[in-house]
Structure 1
Amino acid sequence: MLNLVWLRSLVYVVRYRGFQAAARALDISQPTVSQHVQRLEEELGMVLVTRSRRECMPTPDANRLLPYAESLLRLEEQARAAMVRDTLRVGASSNVGIYLLQPYLHSYGQLAADHGYELQIDRNPMIADRLQRGEIDVAVMEWFEPGEGLKSATWRQEPLVLIVHPDNPLARQATISRDQLAGLSLLGGEPGTGTGRLLTRFFADGGPLPTVTMQLGSTEAVKQAVRAGLGISLVMASAVEEEVRAGSLCAVPVAGAELQKEVFVTWRETPFPVPGVHQFVDHLLAGRA
């Protein structure tokens, strides 16, 4: 078994480029740090640090080990924190956390003031990974692939709309048809949200799909690009409500209202769930904004 104390010393030696600096940061003696790294090297049968008068550098073997070492140390911190915390850890993909979830968190905070919550917003795949690793207790995401020990429920259905500059000819249309949509070039937003899978299902008969000309990384970047006249895009209707009211963007619904994205709430189901998980899930599913 890898010794976490030894791993921590290695991480600090690499971080501070030396044994003395690592010892000061860890508040232990320099010989103790050296002993930890030496024992780790003996345990693994490889050299992990190259030593010089000026600094210490990780070997290629150490570089392969370090991401796992840092992950193990984070998990140890989280395990210790879990023993004393009563705060619910909520994760949300960017679009959900920015445009949909805030009112529900506010009302939940008033309902569950005894234990509270903390919110992490990140890209959809990162939130899914954190849930799988146990770094968050419940996640609200646009795309979810079921994993062992996880339960999921559909929170809401969000229609997608085509956003265009007010001067674009498409802005004068009440709706856009499926055939029109198939021939368009779109700006892409946050990857990993399932929009591509949704479009594949929408055009399931094998016809042409819209093409993606650029991946801009976020819905906010997409909105700025569309406002600048650089292109058009598909986004959740809730993400552009303010811009549509202000007249800086036009949102054109898809005819038939068939193009909708499911938003999921997902949590880890265990015999002893984290306090507040079921209360939070019930709160969302009841629509108590």
Structure 2
Amino acid sequence: MLNLVWLKSFVEVIDHQGFRPAANHLGIAQPTLSQHIQKLEEQLGVLLVQRGRSRCEPTRAALTLLPFARSMLRLDERARESVMNTRLRIGASSNIGIYMLQPHVRAYKDLGTGPEVDLVIDSNPAIAQQLSNGELDVAVMEWWNETPGFHAQPWRNEPVVLIVPPDHPWVSRADIDRDALSGMSLIGGEPGTGTGRLLATFFGGHGPFPSVSMQLGSTEAVKQAVKAGLGASLVLESCVKEEVRAGTLVAIPVREPGLAKELMVIYPGTLARHPPVSSFVGHLCS
């Protein structure tokens, strides 16, 4: 079993690029820090740090170990906080975290009855990985691949709309139908959000499907591209409320049966009765 104290010393040496600044930051003697690294190297049977005159460099083995060490230290911190009910760590995929969830987190904090709250916003796949690793207590996501040991429950059904620039020929349309949408070339946004599955369901799994002309990686990048006249895109309605209000984008609904994503709240089954988790989920889904 890897010693967490040694791993903490290892991470500090890498982050500070030297033993002296790492020891000062940890508040321990430099010989003690050196002993931690030596013991860790002996345990793993590899060299982790190349000692230089001006600074230390991580070896290839160190770079391989580093993300695992950080994850183990975060998990240790989360375990302590969870047992003591001192902090709730909430994850959200980018669109949800940026455009929808924050007022709910603020309202929960304003109740003054729960623990301190951390909100982590990242891509949908990254949030799923952190939740699986135990680094998050609860997550709100656009897409979740059902996994044993986790509870998933609906939060809200969010419409998906077609966004176009104000000078687009379709701005006067009340909606867009399946046939028109299938023939379009769309700007792609963040991968891993389940939009592909949503379209497959909408088009019956057979197509024809809209083509994707670009993959820009985020809704913010997509909105800027649409404003610049580079094309149209499908986004969650809540993500473009400000732009629609300001007149810089036009959002066109999809004709019935419509397009919508069921946003999910997910948490480990072991935390179902954990007071901070149950209180936050109850607050969010009430």
1:235 aligns with 2:239: no
Deviation at 1:106, TM superposition (A): 4.0
* Mapped contact 1:153–1:265 kept (Cα < 8 A): yes
Give the 5 Å matches for 1:189-228.
Answer: 189-228=189-228
Matched position secondary structure for 2:251: strand
Change (3 A) 1:24 1:243: closer
Q: Distance in 2 between matches of 1:107 and 1:14?
A: 39
Segments of 5+ residues of structure 2 without an aligned counterpart are none
Q: Distance in 2 between matches of 1:145 and 1:63?
A: 30
Q: Supply the AA of the counterpart residue of 2:250.
A: C
Instruction: Give CA deviations for 1:67-94 in whole Å, capped at 9, x if unaligned.
Output: 2122212222222333434343322222
Instruction: Quote the residue 2:261 is aligned against.
Output: 261
Instruction: Give CA deviations for 1:195-229 in whole Å, capped at 9, x if unaligned.
Output: 11111222234222111122222222222221221
233-242 vs 264-273, greater mean Cα deviation: 264-273
Q: Distance in 2 between matches of 1:180 and 1:215?
A: 21
* Mapped contact 1:177–1:254 kept (Cα < 8 A): yes
1:24 aligns with 2:24: yes
Give the 5 Å matches for 1:1-289.
Answer: 1-110=1-110, 112-116=111-115, 117-270=117-270, 273-286=273-286
Deviation at 1:272, TM superposition (A): 6.8
Q: Give the count of matched residue pairs.
A: 285
Q: Distance in 2 between matches of 1:98 and 1:66?
A: 29
Q: Distance in 1 between matches of 2:228 and 2:30?
A: 57
Change (3 A) 1:19 1:240: closer
Segments of 5+ residues of structure 1 without an aligned counterpart are none
Matched position secondary structure for 2:135: coil
* Mapped contact 1:159–1:257 kept (Cα < 8 A): no
Q: Distance in 1 between matches of 2:73 and 2:271?
A: 26
Q: Scaled by the length of structure 1, what TM-score is found?
A: 0.89
* Mapped contact 2:137–2:271 kept (Cα < 8 A): no
Q: Distance in 2 between matches of 1:83 and 1:205?
A: 46
* Mapped contact 2:94–2:122 kept (Cα < 8 A): yes
Q: Scaled by the length of structure 2, what TM-score is found?
A: 0.90
Q: Distance in 2 between matches of 1:67 and 1:205?
A: 39
Instruction: Give CA deviations for 1:202-257 in whole Å, capped at 9, x if unaligned.
Output: 22342221111222222222222212212110011222223223322211111213
Change (3 A) 1:271 1:256: closer
Q: Supply the AA of the counterpart residue of 2:6.
A: W
Instruction: Give CA deviations for 1:34-61 in whole Å, capped at 9, x if unaligned.
Output: 2222222221222222223333222212
Task: State the identity as a percent.
Answer: 56
Matched position secondary structure for 1:31: helix
Q: Distance in 1 between matches of 2:285 and 2:146?
A: 19
191-200 vs 21-30, greater mean Cα deviation: 21-30
